[in-house]
Amino acid sequence: MKIITFTAADTQEEVYQALRAGAHGYVVNGESTRDDFLRCIRVVFGGELWIHPLAAVKLAQRMKSEPLTAREKDVLQLVVAGKSNKEIGSALNVTEGTVKVHLSHIFAKLGVSGRLASVGMAIQRGLANLSGSGPLTVHDSKGKSKHTAA
């Protein structure tokens, strides 16, 4: 089965998630012409991938974003869990200043400007969820896993 996504949604994350979910074509409603849509159908049924040029640019921007380190993921998990910088520092055995440095790196890598936006982006990208069930797994300075209360 071949899947073509036809949508007005064309943010970096939406394009990325559609293709990750198995879409073979991505047509942007309002930006694509009738010819674009027909070309997409032909290309996809020919076994190729077709992405509207504007969506392709956004996908490229999303793909080149730098991944979070294990420690940054730990900090982000604790932010999503509602922990303060002091609580995060305590859980990870680092200073609040170190937590702030990690947060600035996280914000830059996710392209957000603050904690709340980072939580939303973490959930959107599947880096965290709001289930709140069970302990959080974090890593010590040597990369070994340990658990902390959620």
Shared domain for 31 and 85, answered yes or no, is no
Q: How large a percentage of the chain has pLDDT more than 70? A: 86
| Domain encompassing residue 8 | 4-63
Three-class DSSP labels, the chain: CCCEEEECCCCHHHHHHHHHCCCCEEEECCCCCHHHHHHHHHHHHCCCCEECHHHHHHHHHHHCCCCCCHHHHHHHHHHHCCCCHHHHHHHHCCCHHHHHHHHHHHHHHHCCCCHHHHHHHHHHCCCCCCCCCCCEEEECCCCCEEEECC
Please indicate, yes or no, whether residues 75 and 35 belong to a single structural domain of this protein.
Answer: no
Domain boundary (63, 79, 105) is at 63
What mean pLDDT do residues 95-108 have? Answer: 96
22-59 pLDDT, tens digit each:
999 999 998 899 999 999 999 999 999 999 998 898 88
Per-residue pLDDT, 143: 58
Let me know whether 39 and 83 are in one domain.
Answer: no
pLDDT bracket for residue 149 (50, 70, 90)? very low
